[in-house]
Amino acid sequence: RIARHARTPSARHAPFRSSHAFNTAMIAQRASTTRTIATPTRATEARRARVVANAADRKMWLPAPYKAPAHLDGTIAGDYGFDPLGLGSDPTRLKYYQEAELMNARWAMMAVAGIVGTEIAGIEPRWWEAGTEDYGFPPQALLAVQLPVMGYLENKRIQGWLATGSSGVNETFPFDPMGMGSKDEKMKLKEIKNGRAAMIAFVGIVVQGIVYREGPVAALKDHVANPFGCNMATNIMNIPVNLA
């Protein structure tokens, strides 16, 4: 009987002990959850701080207090926050514009190199006269062939870009024979900066050729020989006379 009375209090207090253990486990779990949640929060704050610091160090096309649009966050090579019309606010269109700028930049770099190279080498005809030369076949036939061929290739390029994010006709693209790496951010920046300079140079070369019938090398020689009498200001003032 004494043994039964000794066991009875132990059995009677068992639920309280179980409840105490349960509460202790819940408190420990909450503390662990709090620590788990707090860690990514600190990491997120650190990332935000880095983003703010990088944004403060970014070069903009306009000085402070100008702020770049929200869709231009500095992740694109050569991003200086230039989008006054908000054309790239749509993410899909922004990617397309980025690809279009890169393609035109590459064409411009090849065009400028070809124009300057042929003029230095003295190769005829001059670039603005190339379309008037007789190449032994009718220009109408050339146009009839070029339109469908180039249209097909451009269509395949766009389809490949939409599917893979890289411009190309087949699996051999992107083109990187020297292994310089399209993932190199410095090379991406150099390419787009040189491409933009080439696009501006090409526009200047075209205007110079239309107005003065001179190539860029000849125009540079004229400027060096007479910098005050042959420069951009005097050329703009004489455009009506030269066109007449």
Q: Where are the domains positioned within the chain?
A: 49-89, 99-238
Distance from C-alpha of 219 to C-alpha of 208, rounded to nearest angstrom: 8
Evaluate if residue 1 carries a pLDDT over 50.
no
pLDDT at 200: 96
Comparing 49-58, 125-134, 156-165, the range with the smallest average pLDDT is 49-58
Are 153 and 170 in contact, with CB atoms under 8 Å apart?
A: no
What are the angstrom distances between the C-alpha of 108 and each of 22, 167, 215, 234? 73, 17, 16, 26
208 marked as binding residue: yes
13 annotated as a binding-site residue? no
Question: Could you give the percent of the chain with pLDDT greater than 70?
Answer: 67
Backbone torsion region of residue 124, taken as left when φ is above 0, otherwise alpha when ψ lies between -120 and 50, otherwise beta: beta
Exposure letters 87-104 (e unless 16+ CB within 10 A, then b): ebeeeeebeeebbebbee
Predicted model pTM = 0.66
Dig out the tokens for 198 from the structure: 């080439």
Condensed to tens digits (0 to 9), the pLDDT of residues 55-75 reads 557 788 778 778 888 888 888
- Residue 196 assigned ligand-binding role: yes
- The Cα diameter of the chain in Å comes to 130
CATH code assigned to 99-238? 1.10.3460.10
Any known ligand binding at 194? yes
5 is in an annotated binding site: no
Please tell me the distance from the alpha carbon of residue 166 to that of residue 103, in angstroms, as a whole number. Answer: 11
Could you say which DSSP state residue 173 is in?
P
Mean pLDDT, residues 15-22 taken together: 51
Q: Is 101 annotated as a binding residue?
A: yes
Residue pair 192/101 in contact (Cβ under 8 Å)? The answer is yes
Please give the pLDDT value at position 39: 47
Interval 169-227: pLDDT, tens = 444 555 666 666 556 788 889 999 999 999 999 999 998 888 888 899 998 999 899 99
